[in-house]
Amino acid sequence: MAFELELISPFEVAKDVALAVQEYTLLSAQSLANFFRRPLYMGDMVQQADLIGVGSLPIVILTGLSVGALLALNSASTLQRFGGVTLIGQLVSLGMVTELGPLITGLMVAGRNASGMASELGSMIVTEQIDAMRALGTDPTKKLVTPRVGATAFMLFFLTIIADLLGLIGGYGVAHLLFGLDTQQYWTSVWQILVFRDVFTGLIKPVLFGFIISTVGCYYGISTRGGTQGVGRSTTQAVVASSVLILIVDFFVTKLIFAIFGYR
């Protein structure tokens, strides 16, 4: 059996990438503009908020708790050498609120929901349901994309707060039970180390990550081609692209906030 290897011109690849970026940008802009156009499909938004927010709660609780506990465990063994076990609270607090809470929650929700959105919309594309919706006079971006964008950004904000809190509780468990740290001492250091900039950083990120997860998931879903195999491909690409984009945006947002508010 002979295999033929088809060579693709780098210009064609660059053109495809530029086209994908253009389409993604247009879809994202349109999904935002739809918030100012009637109808708003509040029912669909609430349904998506339930699916994304309440549905993701168990995984966020589990990861939040374990990341906080692991952060405390790993840092405590180093801090112990310098007699600084009392600093565990500060370390867990800063790490969870500014970085790990939003990042881990974003990645977990991306894995769970970007794939769900891509497969759901992708299936609707291959079975002509999106065409049917357009033929019935309904804008699929307004009916399907905008409620998902609104619901993901809104719910990720609260899921991150829950993950942060559980991370702090996980850290407290380790610090108190394994290293004998006093309860009041831990929670006082957790509270005192945080300044406005940290809380602002920790709460602006989930909104951006939620926007990325939903727009990337919907974009890959809507641009699905090639039947069920295409749906599978879109699902995988949506998870990979949204996760990578979250990591990149996380770096630049952190850098920007440092530039605005200054370093500690």
Residue closer to other proteins by CB (options 86, 138) is 138
> x/- contact string, 201-230, with other proteins (CB under 8 A)?
------------------------------
User: Could you please report the per-residue DSSP string of 123-158?
Assistant: HHHHTTHHHHHHHTT--HIIIIIHHHHHHHHHHHHH
> x/- contact string, 23-62, with other proteins (CB under 8 A)?
----------------x-----------------------
Residue closer to other proteins by CB (options 142, 205) is 142
- Alpha helices by DSSP H, listed for the chain, are 10-33, 42-49, 55-81, 88-94, 101-109, 115-126, 129-135, 140, 146-177, 183-193, 196-222, 227-261
- The CB-of-48 to other proteins minimum distance in angstroms stands at 13
Which residues, in sequence order, are CB contacts of 103 under 8 Å at separation 6+?
205, 246, 247, 250
* CA 80 vs CA 50, 150, 158: distances in Å: 43, 45, 34
| 3-class secondary-structure state, position 9 | coil
Question: Are 221 and 140 contacting, i.e. CB atoms less than 8 angstroms apart?
Answer: no
Residue closer to other proteins by CB (options 105, 119) is 119
- The CB-of-220 to other proteins minimum distance in angstroms stands at 19
Enumerate residues 104-163 that contact other proteins by CB under 8 A.
123-124, 127-129, 131-139
Residue closer to other proteins by CB (options 5, 135) is 135
- The CB-of-120 to other proteins minimum distance in angstroms stands at 8
Residue closer to other proteins by CB (options 132, 244) is 132
Residue closer to other proteins by CB (options 51, 92) is 51
Q: How far is CA 30 from the centre of its chain?
A: 20
- Amino acid found at 93: S
- The CB-of-129 to other proteins minimum distance in angstroms stands at 5
User: Applying CB under 8 A, which residues contact other proteins?
Assistant: 39, 123-124, 127-129, 131-139
